[in-house]
Chains A and B, each alone.
Chain A
């Protein structure tokens, strides 16, 4: 559980870094709208894999919001 929590903290921090934004991110707003482009989404999929979380680029791209990605990560960690 603590592992999951740190994954989500990491996700939030990494996404904030990737979109180069200091403001808070609306967790239900599309991250593409914040300027996150598809190459960065793909990079993030690779980084999640390195953390042992199997999430594909397509899964991330389908609903690119922090809430949807957090749910995906929780699901993979639980599975």
Chain B
């Protein structure tokens, strides 16, 4: 698990526990070598998009993620850890560049009550490996921002298969999960989604 600092590591107690429960050996690290050589790298994120990007930059996270993906090694982004994988994020009128693995802008959701907080079902993409066995379950969300339109076009994807997107709906559609070869991400918190979340994490761990 990539941590922007040693102190931040402590906030990942539930995530570590949830991954260990499905058989993973978990190490929280900000060290490049450790983050490069593990079977699967989890990038959790809480708080603001800009702050999360700063944390990732502080540990050279962009190049760690880039290199891992180039070598086909698994990376899982969770919550803001998913959002930073897109081109940019707009918070309070300010645009911050993201890791740009996927096109798309992270923007405030258009719902009367925010944050979007609670258990919700998804429209799971056909053929999803991540959601195998839990396609119709509810997952736990806490967020006010999301990617609401998918800008993947045929031009940029002529050689690649388009990512498999699962959608959520809260005041409009938003991307709830993306599966794209070694790069996988969820807007919701699998580590807080009870048994359904465990199944999802197990699906990810078993595919490593």
Is this pair of chains taken from one and the same complex?
Answer: no
By a beta-carbon cutoff of 8 Å, the part of chain A in contact with chain B is none
By a beta-carbon cutoff of 8 Å, the part of chain B in contact with chain A is none
